[in-house]
A = this chain, B = another copy of it.
Amino acid sequence: MTNDLDFIKKTIQLADENVQNGHGGPFAAIIVKEGKIIATGVNSVTSELDPTAHAEIKAIRNACKALNTYQLNDCIIYSSCEPCPMCLGAIYWSRPKKIVFAANKTDAANAGFDDSLIYDQLNLPIAERKIETVEIALENKNQPFLSWTNFNSKIDY
């Protein structure tokens, strides 16, 4: 397998298998570096009781384990479906070079997986959000940041 089409077809196959074997939702992701699959991930929310266990998040964690790093430089993430805001955030933090997906947000919403609520919430002022959100401006709220700035042996990320 050497091109985007082959890898993205594989994610659709894995996503379909993830449903058929009762493991979780209809989503899968693959991470490729230098033409080779280094990790896969499938939706495992209900089987692992982890609401963050979306396919892309699982694949990113597995790829980082495989590469022994917390950055996916030069990697490509293939996802069976356009990433939700949580996964897109995770992808940006992990810094791969490219994202390829098959089904899009509209396809997902038609199947009952609508993440437009979350996209909308991210853009609303805090006071207007669906989950009550409160800022408490503690006097020492920046103490952890000050400690970080002064900590000599920190590992930047």
Contacts and interface: CB of A to CB of B under 8 A. Distances in A.
Contacts of A154: 19, 22
Given A99-B132, A136-B102, A16 B143 contact: yes
A38 interface: no
Interface secondary structure of A, over-half rule: mixed
Copies of this chain held together in the complex: 2
A150 B140 CA distance: 54
In this complex, the interface size class of chain A, counting residues with CB under 8 Å from chain B, is 35 or more
Given A49-B70, A86-B86, A95-B131, 13 more contacts: A12-B144, A15-B143, A19-B151, A45-B70, A52-B57, A52-B94, A80-B144, A84-B93, A86-B88, A92-B131, A101-B134, A108-B145, A111-B145
